[in-house]
Amino acid sequence: MSRNMDTELDLDKMDLEQGPPQEEPRRQYYFMAKCRQYAKQLEEELGHRPTFFVQTFGCQMNARDSEKLTGILEQIGYVPAQDEQADFVVYNTCTVRENANQRVYGRLGKLHHYKKDNPHMRIALCGCMMQESHVVEKLKSSYGFVDIVFGTHNVYKLAELMADRQESGGMIVDIWPEADKIVEELPNRHKYAFKSGVNISFGCNNFCSYCIVPYVRGRERSRSPEDIVREIEKLSREGVVEIMLLGQNVNSYGKDLKSPMSFARLLTRIEKIEGIQRIRFMTSHPKDLSEELIAVMKASRKICRHLHLPVQSGSTRVLKAMNRKYTKEQYLELVERIRREIPDISLTTDIIVGFPGETWEDFEETLDVVRRARYDSAFTFLYSKRTGTLAASMENQVPEEEMKRRFDVLLEVVQRIGREMSSRFTGTVQEVLVEEVNAQDETLVTGRMGNNLLVHFPGDATLIGKLVPVRLEECKGFYYMGKKA
Ligand code: SAH
Ligand code: SF4
Ligand code: F3S
């Protein structure tokens, strides 16, 4: 694990008499210093350093936000705990599907129980679920033991909210409908020393009719290329070799900047950063994937041969109702073009089964796309009705049983093709970035190929974080066994 803070800070020397400054990020440094004092008092009462636990639900965006929360908590002086029996617990929530939502309520009961045993315990909830007013109402009325509730736009304010909670004594709720700014230069901890996610844009403007993300993450905002490059240069100095560029739709990056810049050009710029050996990105909306991007990927030595290209449905009629803005034919043409230019590319996708009005014929179109596009893997989802989205008010919601029947048929096809596609590298030598010593067998290490497939091969901890050429000997479905080449 490695630490990262742009400005060298000495929180202990900060003058707290003067009151908080207005401008960010200095305001947050002030509150971190303040919380550090509270943490010291707490340490005396508890007899040990106060501990924290951050539980992340949902996607890479949330994972990245959790790293920021972790960075702040560590600056304040909290130490990581192994589980939720900690002095400060954060649930960073997801609401993209109903089951993600239910899991959080389920686990809150357990937290309440822990809190009864440890009155010093504080519980914070943040993330996408909190951006929904009916959730916050429910928390206020039935979950009074929760201490802090905040959303997706003010993650950087954690220290200030903790200080508010300390001073007020009651539940603090701070939810913003939109982000007013992007605050840079806050503490941050990336989970692995050798790889890190990097936000390039926040929010989404696409309003796919089934999707709640634009409502809970706000409008699309790109970070400036200078800030992105500076962050990656810093990560590189700290030993990071692989970065994952994150955005709901990376292909529309930069359109909202004062001097607009394409995603492809941003990649070209990032490619030049010394020390960075692998570049990944997520997610690509098919409607915005440019010729320029294909050309840049083709010419690049660092960009991984992997594209996550969510199709959602293979039926043009359903795609239109989903507001995806491409047809089945346009999607397949795009896949063909990509495969022609970059033959060794791995394609992965997301598919929703049971969108309102989806017929068996529509579903067969989806199967057809899967067979033709030949994905290395696919995330398949049962359609989930999200309050406030256009699709939620559509008629012809598909019955649960029928949805599940289709889902099972799809899964079988997806997995069969995935296995076939994954095994096509057998016998070749591939660069593998080693992530860890294998949990089951200590004589093996585990790493990932450029296309994200896992590889196990004989080795030891000294290889962690290194790119190693490995001969792939045997494909076991969705992973390989290999030997150092
Ligand atoms: N921005 C990304 C997706 C973010 S959500 C993109 O456009 O590709 C991740 C995936 O969750 C989506 O691709 C979609 O397949 C799925 N998803 C989103 N809303 C859903 C819903 N209401 N029901 C089921 N699956 C959903
Ligand atoms: Fe949701 Fe569509 Fe935006 Fe992806 S592009 S986050 S699916 S609205
Ligand atoms: Fe979930 Fe929010 Fe991501 S709703 S999928 S955590 S953007």
**Nearest residue CA, atom 2 of ligand 2?**
208
Report H helices in 118-224: 133-142, 158-168, 213-217
DSSP state of 279: E
253-303 residue pLDDT tens:
999 999 999 999 999 999 999 999 999 999 999 999 999 999 999 999 999
Cα 111 to Cα 85, 106, 114, 402, distances in angstroms? 8, 10, 5, 36
CA-nearest of 410, 451, 404, 411 to 431 is: 451
Query: Reduced to 3 states, what is the DSSP secondary structure of residue 121?
Result: coil
Q: What's the gap in Å between 201 CA and the centre of ligand 2?
A: 13
Q: In this structure, what token pair is assigned to residue 332?
A: 């397949």
The stretch 401-417 carries a mean pLDDT of: 97
pLDDT digit string (tens) for 10-61? Answer: 787 788 888 899 999 999 999 999 999 999 999 999 999 999 999 999 999 9
What average pLDDT does range 164-178 have in this prediction? 92
Phi first, then psi: give them for residue 275, nearest 5 degrees.
95, -30
Q: Residue 42 corresponds to which tokens in the numbers above?
A: 């707490």
Type of residue found at 292: E
Nearest residue CA, atom 4 of ligand 2?
248
Residue 16 confidence (pLDDT):
85
pTM passes above 0.85: yes
**Other beta carbons within 10 Å of 70:** 24
Query: Poorest-confidence range of 133-137, 163-167, 186-190, 309-313?
Result: 186-190
- pLDDT(319) > 70: yes
For ligand 2, atom 1, name the residue with the nearest CA.
Answer: 211
Q: DSSP letter at 286?
A: G
User: Whose atoms come closest to the Cα of 355: which ligand?
Assistant: 1
Tell me how far the alpha carbon of residue 373 lies from the centroid of ligand 2, in angstroms. 21
Please tell me if the CB atom of residue 249 comes closer than 6 angstroms to any atom of ligand 2: yes
From the list 378, 385, 377, 327, the residue with the least C-alpha distance to 355 is 385
CA distances from 158 to 64, 140, 235, 418 (A): 15, 19, 23, 42
